[in-house]
């Protein structure tokens, strides 16, 4: 099934994840403005560690390589939240605009990133960005991906 990335990026919630199978449910930008809807006591498990995470589509362009496209997003991760384990069907080149994250990888050591740090995630690598700072983390992420596959696959 062909998925329009622009629609996917504007679709939020668990219903979108169910409808798209392994494609990620990406929240709408409007959800980023308010506080996280699930407050929990320190030390208790967060019932929704990805609540409030948004990916805003900035641009989508064909790549010079046939069958590939470049997609750029602004990712916002609220305090004490995380992106969730996921991968992309191509590379991600990113920059931490604001905040502090620990980038966790299934197949390697974690990487601590702070405001001003660049990062690179290879094709298909499963990763999770966890906000460990005191402010909402903002990441500029540019993907060069297979245009026939969902931008994000969750695990």
Q: Regarding predicted confidence, which is higher, 106 or 1?
A: 106
Mean pLDDT of 63-71: 95
By the 8 A CB rule, do 146 and 70 touch? no
Mean per-residue pLDDT for 131-153? 97
Q: What is the pLDDT of residue 43?
A: 57
pLDDT, mean over the chain: 80
Q: Give the pLDDT confidence score for residue 46 in this predicted structure.
A: 80
pLDDT of residue 36: 37
CB burial of residue 3 (10 Å; 0-12, 13-18, 19+): middle
CA dist 131 to 104, 121, 134, Å? 11, 17, 8
Judge contact between 117 and 155, C-beta under 8 A: no
The whole-model pTM stands at 0.71
Distance (Å, whole) CA 56 – CA 65: 24
Domain ranges in the chain? Answer: 5-32+51-154
Q: Please state which architecture CATH assigns to domain 5-32+51-154.
A: Sandwich (2.60)
Q: How far apart are CA 86 and CA 105, in angstroms?
A: 10
Give pLDDT tens digits for 3-61.
Answer: 344 444 433 333 233 322 323 333 333 333 333 334 445 556 788 999 999 999 999 99
Q: Please answer whether residues 99 and 45 qualify as being in contact, where contact means their C-beta atoms are separated by less than 8 angstroms.
A: no
| pLDDT, average across residues 59-78 | 96
Q: What percent of the chain has pLDDT over 70?
A: 72
For residues 115-143, average pLDDT: 98
């Amino acid at each position: 099934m062909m998925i329009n990335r622009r629609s996917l990026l504007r679709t939020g919630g668990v219903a979108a994840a169910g409808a798209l199978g392994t494609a990620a449910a990406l929240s709408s930008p409007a959800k980023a403005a308010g506080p996280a809807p699930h407050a929990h006591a320190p030390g208790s498990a967060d019932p929704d560690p990805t609540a409030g995470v948004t990916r805003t589509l900035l641009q989508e362009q064909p790549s010079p390589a046939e069958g590939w496209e470049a997609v750029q997003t602004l990712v916002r991760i609220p305090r004490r939240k995380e992106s969730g384990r996921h991968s992309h069907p191509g590379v991600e080149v990113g920059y931490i605009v604001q905040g502090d994250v620990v980038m966790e990888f299934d197949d390697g050591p974690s990487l601590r990133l702070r405001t001003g740090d660049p990062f690179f995630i290879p094709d298909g690598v499963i990763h999770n960005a966890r906000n460990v700072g005191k402010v909402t983390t903002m990441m500029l992420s540019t993907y060069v991906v297979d245009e026939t596959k969902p931008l994000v696959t969750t695990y």
